[in-house]
Amino acid sequence: MKARVEKLFGLTDPAPDAIVFANSVDPHLDGAFFWIFDVPSGLFEGSIAVAHPDGEVDVWSSVLEAETARSAAKNDPHIRIHEFRSASEVDDELKKHLGASGTIGLHHTEITHATYERLTKVLPGASWIDVSAPVRRARMTKDAAEIERLARAGEIGSKVANEIPTLLKEGVVELSVATEMNYRMMHHGASGPSFSTIVGFGPNSAEPHYFAGNRKLRSGDSIVCDFGAYYERYASDITRSFHFGRRDDELKAVHDKVEEAQQAALALIRAGVAAKELHLAAQRVIDASPWKGRFTHGLGHSIGLRVHDGWGMNDRTEDLLEEGMVMTVEPGIYLPGHGGVRIEDDVLVTKTGYRFLTTAPRGYHEVAA
Domain regions of the chain by residue span: 2-139, 144-367
Instruction: Note the CATH architecture for domain 144-367.
Output: Alpha-Beta Complex (3.90)
**Rounded CA separation 132/112 (Å):** 13
Provide the pLDDT for residue 295.
97
Provide the pLDDT for residue 342.
98
- Backbone angle region of 287, left / alpha / beta, with phi > 0 → left and psi within -120 to 50 → alpha: alpha
Please give the backbone phi and psi of residue 348, each rounded to the nearest 5 degrees, phi first: -100, 125
| DSSP H or E stretch at residue 32 | helix 31-36
Query: Do 295 and 264 meet the contact criterion of CB atoms below 8 Å apart?
Result: no
Residue 190 DSSP symbol: -
Q: Positive or negative CA dihedral for 63, 81, 8, 345? A: negative
Tell me the pLDDT tens digit for each residue of 315-360.
999 899 999 999 999 999 999 999 999 999 999 999 999 999 999 9
Instruction: Note the CATH architecture for domain 2-139.
Output: 3-Layer(aba) Sandwich (3.40)
> What Rg value do the Cα atoms of the chain yield, rounded?
23
CA distance to 227, 328, 334, 358, per residue, from 224 (Å):
10, 16, 11, 16
Provide the pLDDT for residue 99.
80
Tell me the pLDDT tens digit for each residue of 283-312.
999 999 999 999 999 999 999 999 999 889
Question: Pairing mode, if any, of strands 332-335 and 300-301?
Answer: unpaired
Start-to-end Cα distance in the chain = 52
Beta bridge partners of 229: 193
**Rounded CA separation 86/16 (Å):** 27
Question: Pairing mode, if any, of strands 326-329 and 345-349?
Answer: antiparallel
**Rounded CA separation 174/169 (Å):** 11
Residues of the chain with pLDDT under 50: none
CA distance to 7, 24, 47, 58, per residue, from 95 (Å):
26, 19, 15, 13
Sheet holding 103-106, edge to edge: 79-84, 57-62, 48-51, 18-22, 103-106, 127-130
